[in-house]
Structure 1
Amino acid sequence: MVTVDNATAAILLSRPVSSHDETLSRLAFSLSRSLAEEGIGDEVFDTLEDVLGDRAQSAPPRRVHRSDDLLLRLGLPLPQRRRQEKATPMLPEEATRISDRFRRATTHLMQVVPHRVAMYPTEELRLLIALRDEQPTPDQAVAHLRRFAFAILTVLDLMGDEA
């Protein structure tokens, strides 16, 4: 730590550092950075990874391939396609824990976003608030949390977070 005498401090404090607008801009940027670092931490990013990575479900096997009709007309067998695995079931306590974490992140994002974007993302935040307020049934918890996670990632992407 450096000590400064009163005379030096008075000289330093009387010097203009920069223009008023530039100072406010720097201050707002620093403040928003510190807010972002406090609220959206590794814990939230790990939870986003858990929800979108491990529990991601493939598309249902109802998808019809164009080539299937042709193969049937020619009398050829249909190709064997990979069987799609279902997502592991989520315990209600785990769904509640993740949902609470996403709700806290949403509240924090609502405070930080105006300071981090050039144009306010009205639709993205409206969706985030709607998902925050939604109360899904236990069988819809995984799908709801995936939508919630994608909405959070969309807002983080708009903010330019490098997470």
Structure 2
Amino acid sequence: MAFFVFTYNTSKEIDLLIAEKKPYPSLIRLLDHQIISIVSKSSNAIYNILIGVSNLTPVNQPHPHFQTVSSCGGIDKLYSLFKKNLSPGSKDNSAKCIGFLFKAKEITNIEMRKDIIAYLKTTLSSSESWLKNNSKQILRLLAENSINRSEIEKDGFKIPE
């Protein structure tokens, strides 16, 4: 899928140019595709755009694309993809996308909040350093909101440095 190639490891300028083209509705529709590799590449592209733009805003500010993704049903689609667990990559990407979207913002859906935070916490024990580092970063962003932080710190959990 070409969109994944355009979003992978790009500069801030390219991330902003891609975001200006309003790619989310099309990419989110592809999350329902029958071919798992297309679903995976679509969720990767969404993640790449979200992370690129997220890195341009302060950690204590909500993600600038939250409303755009939410308004086209993207958060619900990503959560549905997370629960389907089509592949480890699709589950991981959807959790990370939701985490970035709720940067410094309460995850109001209680089930979603518990599921996403619990998943991110479990990935901290992965042997893959990139996965651990991504999860730490996203948990820190989520913890900028006090409700999310309470869920993260439940049972004495501390986000590793």
- Give the structure-2-normalised TM-score: 0.28
Of structures 1 and 2, the one with the larger relative CO (CA 8 A, separation 6+) is: 1
Instruction: Give the TM-score normalised by the residue count of structure 1.
Output: 0.28
